[in-house]
Amino acid sequence: MMSDDPTGAQRTYAATEDEVLRIEHLSINFGGLKAVDDLSFCIKRGEIFGLIGPNGAGKTTVFNCITQFYKPNEGAVLFRGLSGEMENLVGQKVHGIIRKGLVRTFQNMELINELSVIDNVLIGAHIDFKVGGFSQALRLPRAVKEERAMRERAMRALDFMGIAELADAPMGGQPYGIRKKVEMARTFLCQPKLIILDEPAAGLNDVETQQLAQSIRDIREKLDCTILLVEHDMRLVMNICNRICAISFGKFLACGTPAEIRNDPKVQVAYLGEQEKED
Amino acid sequence: MKKEQSIGMKIWTNHYFRFVLFGLMLSMLVPAVSGGILKTSFLGIVGGTIIFTIAALGLNILLGYSGLISLGTAGFMGLGAYISAYVTGDMGLPWEVGILAAVLIPTAIGILVGLASLRMSGLYLGIVTLCISEIFRKTFDELDVITGGFSGKSANYPTLLGMIDLNQKQTYILLVVVLVLVMMLTYNIVHGQMGRAMHVMRGSQVAAQAMGVNILKYRLIAFALSTGYASLAGALYVHFIKFVYPSTWTLMISLTILAIIVIGGLRSIYGTFLGALVVYAMPDLVLKRIPVLGDINGLPYVFSGVLIILIILFYPKGVVNVFSDLKRLFAKLTASKSSAAKDEVPNDVG
């Protein structure tokens, strides 16, 4: 493993202590199309980090490469998870990623309408159940105890999002804003180190977006975790992010504070310029 | 919110209590038959309904919760029936051993099918499971050393613990007890972590993976449970009907079980029993007694076919939801009545 590393990812395993995620020379092709091309950036502990870019820039592809839904052709995704060591996520099983302490949300939320709100949140605690299947099937005391403890935790999560009174309501038929909150609760229930939000503000009105910004900050504070945000809503990104990475056509444009990104000529041409014309 | 429940309320809402109560209600059939209120044939019909309910509960876990289709339920039921008949009859082993073998062997095969299922879904999975079922049926035909071939195989009523010989009525009670246990087991499974994992696997595979649900593992669990239930039902069948033919275990049985859960209600335990009652017992109890129409051969199939179409079109939640819908309707009616009464009071605001 140590030999023959064309991307040079190995040397960065000894990354600085405060880095949580480091993307190294990430590339992925779909047929002839280079969706992500030699992209590198890093996220520091406790940051709210934004990944922005015009439509088709490859934001979601980067996202899927980090969470291993796509397997990148080249490069490394180094993550400092619950173990405290930097490890490469590339090649790991998709369902194993959350156990490292990295959890994601979905643009379309992917909630289960047939379950109640609290059961949807409890799905987020799937990996934290320790009691085996047989004990659960026979409803042994320890399974009952664990289920109750998890339910209380899910209740606190719902309370945190301000929708505790909806716990037993069916998920189907809940309005969009509520669904977003439920998904958020599901996401942080397993107490992850890094949360990746895929366009969390999509479809929200101004008031809801402001509430969202506040709850993202709250989650970061309360859980002491890091947040990576992939987002279209520039106001949200500029408002809450500590640092931003801008990409276009799968290529790195710039990385820096919101002010730096706003004033970066390359970014303005690729993204903000167009946005202003549209407005 | 619900902490202030009285003890009586607590017992009443306890699911174990309700399942036992349900079982007691079913057992009432025995004194009713003994007392001459109902005909003895009722025992066979309701017993069959119970057996089909057990198999259908397994398919409900597979299709209703996990979103995987199987058209091979009949094959696994038959396999369970033959294994139990062979182990208790030819090998002379106790009934308990027979039923254990009849559940474990098909379950192991079911897990293998589950392994294959990871590469396919929907129609293709249906076709593959159907083929496996047909292979079993052909084997029942040909392997006459064990299965008795076309002429079938007989078995006795169970002998519990090697000493208690059961008669038909007692076997019926045994069926009820097994049904209640299976219902409890199913309830525990679908209302815990496993059930939620199955839900999310059906609803969204990407979300399931992102939340750490190992799709392979839960597909295997779903297949193991479904084939385990089916073969348990088959093993109970052979000791209740006392006879098994290869020609019983055709696609028709698998489709009947599918019809049971679609009509009764996907993801509902009581609904599965209700569905079995409608699909399996209704033809014998009601349809055949209708003059002229009742003499038509294959009427039950027409009946359940039309019912499936109607249910899917107009009532996709299944027959079991009739109760909650009626309750809601009743609540609405009383509410509108009381609000109408309020309106009659002179209103000084408007």
| A97, A114, A137: residue with CB nearest B199 | A114
Contact A136, A177 (CB under 8 A): no
At which residue do the structure tokens 């750490």 appear? B212
Is it the case that residue B222 has pLDDT exceeding 50? yes
Within 48-67 of A, beta carbons closer than 8 Å to B belong to 67
Q: In the 8-state DSSP scheme, what is residue B183?
A: H
Inter-chain CB proximity A136 and B193 less than 8 Å: yes
Mutate to test the interface with A, among B14, B19, B186, B209 (most CBs of A within 10 A): B209
Inter-chain CB proximity B208 and A114 less than 8 Å: no
| Domain assignments of chain B as residue spans, ordered by start | 40-341
Q: Does A114 touch chain B (CB under 8 A)?
A: yes
Mutate to test the interface with A, among B16, B61, B188 (most CBs of A within 10 A): B188
- Higher local confidence (pLDDT), A156 or B161: A156
Domains in chain A with CATH codes: 17-101+192-279 (3.40.50.300), 113-189 (no CATH)
Inter-chain CB proximity B211 and A139 less than 8 Å: no
Q: In the 8-state DSSP scheme, what is residue A73?
A: S
Is it the case that residue B5 has pLDDT exceeding 80? no
Is it the case that residue B78 has pLDDT exceeding 80? yes
Give the lowest-confidence range in B109-113, B216-220, B346-350.
B346-350
Give the lowest-confidence range in B82-86, B99-103, B142-146.
B142-146
Chain B nearest C-alpha distance from A123 (Å): 6
CB pairs A-B closer than 8 Å: 90
What pLDDT sits at residue A58?
A: 86
Is it the case that residue A274 has pLDDT exceeding 60? no
Among the listed residues A13, A66, A23, the one whose alpha carbon sits nearest the alpha carbon of residue A43: A23
| B188, B196, B267: residue with CB nearest A137 | B188
Share of chain B above pLDDT 90, in %: 45
Search chain B and give the residue with CA nearest A67: B210
pLDDT tier for residue B282 given thresholds of 50, 70 and 90: confident
Mutate to test the interface with B, among A123, A135, A187 (most CBs of B within 10 A): A123
For the entire predicted model, the pTM comes to 0.88
* Cα-Cα end-to-end distance for chain A: 51
Per the DSSP assignment, residues forming a β-bridge with B79 are none
Task: Output the CA–CA distances (angstroms, integers) from residue A124 to A163, B208, B220, in the order listed.
Answer: 16, 9, 21
pLDDT tier for residue A1 given thresholds of 50, 70 and 90: very low
Q: Does B222 touch chain A (CB under 8 A)?
A: no
What pLDDT sits at residue B340?
A: 59
- What is the rounded distance in angstroms from the CA atom of residue B249 to the CA atom of residue B37? 33
Within 83-142 of B, beta carbons closer than 8 Å to A belong to none
pLDDT tier for residue A33 given thresholds of 50, 70 and 90: confident
State which fold the B40-341 domain adopts: ABC transporter involved in vitamin B12 uptake, BtuC (1.10.3470)
Mean pLDDT of A126-147: 89
Strands (E), chain B: 153-154, 159-160, 164-165, 243-244
